[in-house]
Amino acid sequence: MTYLSDKPKSRATLVNETGLSDRELRREIENARHRGVPIVSNNTKGGYHIASDLAEIQAFRYDCISRATKLLNMARANYTIDGQIGIESSWR
């Protein structure tokens, strides 16, 4: 992802610079993160960028865990809607 640096860029800017669709760009960012590229994003800096230090990586990691926890809690809250059988047992 040579188009990223420590200066944040919005997704719209990256789509324009790379020629990728928004979906393709998000997939590329996700794949790069899985390969260990420290791409972070947050609302305070306004875009995607390469983390400049460990604290920035840790803050991004905390944010991801927080969002994942909220999504999991929402899924669990909807577990028994209309008496449907859920998948709770597979989460343990």
> What is the model's pTM?
0.70
Residue 4: φ, ψ to 5°: -100, 150
Domain map of the chain by residue range? Answer: 11-79
- Nearest-angstrom CA–CA distance, 22 and 55: 28
Q: Per-residue confidence of the chain (92 residues) as pLDDT tens digits?
A: 567 887 899 999 999 999 999 999 999 999 999 999 999 987 666 799 999 899 999 999 999 999 999 999 888 877 665 555 555 555 55
15's enclosing H/E stretch is helix 11-18
